[in-house]
Amino acid sequence: MTATQTAGSPALYSGPFNTLHSLRIDRGNYIAVHSNNPAAAAQYAVENMGFYLVHADSEGRYYLAAHGLDAYSLVYTPGEQGRLDHISYVVPSADDLLAAEKRFTNLGVKSERIERSQLWRHGPALRFASPGGQIIELVPGVLVDVPMAALVAAYGSRS
pLDDT at residue 120 in the model: 65
Please report the pLDDT score of residue 39 as a whole number: 97
What 3 state SS string does 62-77 have?
EEEECCCCCCCCEEEE
Distances (CA, A) of 137 to 3, 54, 56: 28, 21, 21
**Which 3 state secondary structure label does DSSP give 14?**
coil
Which of 7, 136, 126, 131 has its CA nearest to residue 84? 136
Q: What is the pLDDT of residue 82?
A: 85
Q: What is the pLDDT of residue 111?
A: 95
Q: Where are the alpha helices (DSSP H) in the chain?
A: 38-49, 94-107, 148-156
DSSP 27-40: EEEEEEEEES-HHH
- Please give the Cα distance from 63 to 55 (Å, whole number): 5
Question: Residue 57: what pLDDT?
Answer: 92
Q: For domain 27-156, is the CATH number 3.40.50.920?
A: no
pLDDT along the chain (159 residues), means of 10: 64 65 84 96 96 94 87 92 92 91 92 80 85 91 60 54
- Alpha-carbon distance of 28 to 118, in angstroms, equals 20
**Residue 71 CB neighbours (<10 A):** 17
What is residue 49's predicted lDDT score, i.e. its pLDDT?
95
Question: For residues 54 and 63, is the Cβ–Cβ distance under 8 A?
Answer: yes
